[in-house]
Structure 1
Amino acid sequence: MQVCRIPNKHLFSLRAGDMGCFCIRFSEDGRTLAAGCAGRDAYPIILYEIPSGQNLVEFYGHLNIVYDLCWSKDNQHLLTASSDGTARMWKIEAQATSAVRVFPHPSFVYTAKYHPVAEYIVVTGCYDSVIRVWNAKVKDIYGQLLQEFDGHKSFINTLCFDAEGFHMFSGDSTGLIIIWNTLVKGNSQSPIQNWGIDKEINDDDFKGTAINHLEVHPNGRRLLIHTKDSTVRIMDLRILATKKYIGATNYREKIRSTLTPCGTFLFSGSEDGIAYVWNPETGMEVHYFMLLEKNYIFFHLQVNIF
């Protein structure tokens, strides 16, 4: 893995929706950027070519804010989660710009992820506090609902997996984090039969505070926790001790943070319109970007190397 450097040059600005966008995500190969945009009449998913910034395609179908994006590892499909009560899957190379799968929910869908090993399995987190597991490898456009898990008592903001897909981490609006066993049985008729709760994390330091975002550190041993108390934390999963990163403001919106692919830097958006950068090992703030003076930075930033 190439060591990342802090960006020091503004390459270009991209036109998004009239009302901005709530999430962005680079493809696994770094050649495409997806943005969940909000317009006055529609909520398109816009794809941009990187590094040119050229507009490639726009996907239409969502009827409200898109809160999460997830690329498949082969960059052929994109998964989206929206407050219109659906998660949707889009085929990137298809001529049609409509979704190839629509996963219906009874309320807002805040997060959707592919299982990192068995990508036909899609997991979603909803306002109704239920985690749903879907089989996308079926002919039915609505997929196949495999199971519902109700370990949370409040709405689920975020999901993430470790690289091997052995464990999933989910976070809700009360500060509860649940670690799930998510090993997939390859040729089984019931591939998720052994899924279940491994551990619950009820840390007094952020108990009662909404968790906006969870992300497994590239080394697999730590967990990035972004909570709505203007504090970013990284937890050692072996001893459950946390290091705090202070500076960014977040009390109101679903702002997120992210680690660079090499784990060298931690980036976060902020309600003061600044993007903050820390050294995760020392906890020291090492840089900041004055990007937007009058608007919040809602992004899920990723550092892209090309």
Structure 2
Amino acid sequence: MKPAPFAYAKARSVEDAVRLLNEHGDNAKLLAGGQSLMATLNMRLSQPAILIDLNGIPGLDGIALNGGDVAIGALVRHATAAKSDVIARHVPLIAMAMPHIGHPAIRNRGTIGGSIAFADPAAELPACFLALNGEAEITGKNGTRRVTADDFFRGLYETAIAADEMLTAIRLPSATPDMRYGFAELSRRHGDYALVGLAAVARADGAGLKDVRLAYFGVGLTPVRATVAEAALIRGSIDDAVEALDYDMAPPDDVQETGPVKRHLAGVLLRRVAAQMMGGGA
């Protein structure tokens, strides 16, 4: 299929993009990497009146260590993030997730900001963002505000970004020696959407863990925090944590698998990721 007709504008600055968003509101769509947008346009699931191209905006493709945070511009490509020494050293969870995102052609064009803003509940980066308890920098006509990951995801493909705002960057906490990371997903073929995936962050506490954050993808309408399982894992019982997932999620059936199978796979992944973190490696 071909997309419905739309106008096109190439924004030259964040202010220019925000102006266009204010003019067109819900009738506008932002184009960054386009790896999700092009598909929805071609299937006419999205029919904007105007497409606002962000790729001409300078300054949104940087990665920088600022104090205790790593700032990642919204236009940073997945492939760039995968090669970044700053991300590998200071946000290893993102580095762990990168090889699982689609295929090289997708990673070459897809952007960090686009993935977070699109908020696909089956995608890797929104779950990583939630596990890391990052902050989104959202810019509109009244300036820039920050929203924590816990408050960012509102529903299926819905976020805290208003129709007249845009995501300009995300900020993620830099790794400290006591931090532990885990990532795993199960898919039918490499590059397919995961049946179930898990991104996790914790701090070492002797032989155990504290401050555990478990963020699942592919099991709900948004990335899902498994808070009851987190508490059980902090108490030191992986078996109890796996059982606690019954309280944390009720995965719906989808075209890939049934809800009960997804719930079982969530437990399998929890054991794998807990072993990663208990082992002390990223």
TM-score computed with the length of structure 1 as normaliser: 0.27
- The structure whose residues are more often helix, as a share, is 2
- The structure whose residues are more often strand, as a share, is 1
Ranked by relative contact order (alpha carbons within 8 Å, sequence separation 6 or more), the top structure is: 2
TM-score computed with the length of structure 2 as normaliser: 0.29
